[in-house]
């Protein structure tokens, strides 16, 4: 693991106890709606007792939403930040026995080839140090024809005055600092968006990794987040 990856993992470990509260405040709860919107293409056509990977599962909001809608499924929740998974496990109830948590590196996933019927990832791929390698790993562990759904902040086509230069650059770090006590972590967020791929570039990267199709759409409000579906 590179020093940068180690630093990012440590950052998520520091903010894990207040991560959910910060997300709700910064997005005004819209991140919950984004995850719910992602469930329709993710779960469409899945059979009984399907196996679903949640890559970068964090505090398990996505994994729990999958099981809420498909309680017969099995969800493998993988994240490189163990502390995030610990916070998520504290939210689990007795009916969440179909959810397994695994500390894992997205570049070297500890799963067999083609073991998953689908995969979901929310706000994770932007943090991967070697995106082509990680996308090939994702392609490897999902069976041929399986669906992956990526929810992410991509680099915008042009800088947005209010969102990029004011809200992301100035307001987000203040909110994150107030809630978590870690201002640098929320300076990292806009910086990581600015240096990441555009949605169109990411779709091309998915096709280069072996996915036959990759199509995205921008989500309300104002294309803050985007949803990309690949098969």
Q: Is the pLDDT of residue 223 over 70?
A: no
Give just the sign of the alpha carbon dihedral 80, 81, 83, 85. negative
Summary mean pLDDT of the chain: 93
Predicted confidence at residue 1, as pLDDT, reads 67
User: How far is the C-alpha of 228 from the C-alpha of 130, rounded, in Å?
Assistant: 19
Please tell me the predicted confidence (pLDDT) of residue 93.
Answer: 86
Residue 55 has, within 13 A of its CA and on its CB side, a CA count of 29
Give the whole-angstrom CA distance, residue 43 versus residue 126: 23
pLDDT band at 82 (very low <50, low <70, confident <90, very high): very high
Q: DSSP code of 153?
A: -
Q: Per the confidence metrics, is the pTM higher than 0.85?
A: yes
User: With pLDDT > 90 as the criterion, what percentage of the chain qualifies?
Assistant: 75
Query: Could you tell me the domains of the chain?
Result: 27-154+198-230 (3.40.50.150)
Give the least confident one: 4-8, 127-131, 164-168, 198-202.
164-168
Instruction: Answer whether residue 182 shows pLDDT above 80.
Output: yes
Q: Who's near 168: CB < 8 A, 6+ residues apart?
A: 189, 190, 193
In whole angstroms, what is the distance from residue 166 CA to residue 146 CA?
A: 39
pLDDT 10s digits, 119-136: 999 999 999 999 999 999
pLDDT digits (tens, 9 = 90+) for 53-74: 999 999 999 999 999 999 999 9
Instruction: Give yes or no for a contact between 50 and 42, defined as CB atoms under 8 angstroms apart.
Output: no
- The predicted pLDDT at position 28 comes to 87
R_g of the chain computed on alpha carbons: 17
The SS3 of residue 207 is helix
Whether residue 222 is predicted with pLDDT greater than 70 in this model: the reply is: no
Structure confidence at residue 152 as a pLDDT band (50, 70, 90): very high
From its phi and psi, is residue 78 left (phi > 0), alpha (psi between -120 and 50) or beta?
beta
Q: How confident is the model at residue 96 (pLDDT cuts 50, 70, 90)?
A: confident
Cα–Cα distance, 33 to 92 (Å, whole number) = 20
**pLDDT tens-digit profile of 16-43?**
999 999 989 888 889 999 999 999 999 9
What are the pLDDT digits (tens) for 203-217? 999 999 999 999 999
Residue 122, classed as helix, strand or coil, is strand
d(CA 215, CA 229): 5
Q: Per-residue pLDDT for 220 more than 90?
A: no
Instruction: Say yes or no to pLDDT of 45 above 80.
Output: yes
- Which among 131, 111, 180, 122 is positioned nearest to 153, based on CA atoms? 122
Among 74-78, 92-96, 186-190, the least confident range: 92-96
101 - beta bridge partners? 77
pLDDT of 168: 77
Among candidate residues 218, 35, 205, the one with its CA nearest the CA of residue 130: 205
In this predicted structure, the answer to whether residue 161 has a pLDDT above a threshold of 70 is no
């Amino acid at each position: 693991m590179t020093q940068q990856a180690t630093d990012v993992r440590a950052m998520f470990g520091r903010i894990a106890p207040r991560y959910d509260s910060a997300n709700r405040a910064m997005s005004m709860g819209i991140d919950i709606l984004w995850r719910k919107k992602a469930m329709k293409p993710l779960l469409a056509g899945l059979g009984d007792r399907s196996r679903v990977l949640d890559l970068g599962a964090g505090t398990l909001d996505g994994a729990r939403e999958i099981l809420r809608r498909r309680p017969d499924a099995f969800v493998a929740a993988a994240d490189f930040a163990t502390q995030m998974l610990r916070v998520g496990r504290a939210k689990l109830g007795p009916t969440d026995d179909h959810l397994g948590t695994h500390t894992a590196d997205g570049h070297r996933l500890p799963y067999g080839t083609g073991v998953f019927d689908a995969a979901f990832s929310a706000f994770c791929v932007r943090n991967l140090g070697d995106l082509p390698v990680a996308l090939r790993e994702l392609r490897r562990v999902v069976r041929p024809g399986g669906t992956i759904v990526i929810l992410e902040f991509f680099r915008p086509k042009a800088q947005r005055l209010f969102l990029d230069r004011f809200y992301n650059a100035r307001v987000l770090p203040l909110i994150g600092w107030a809630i978590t006590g870690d201002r640098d972590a929320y300076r990292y967020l806009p910086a990581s968006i600015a240096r990441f791929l555009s949605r169109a570039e990411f779709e091309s990267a998915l096709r280069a990794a072996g996915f036959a199709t990759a199509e995205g759409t921008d989500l309300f409000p104002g294309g803050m987040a985007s949803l990309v579906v690949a098969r």
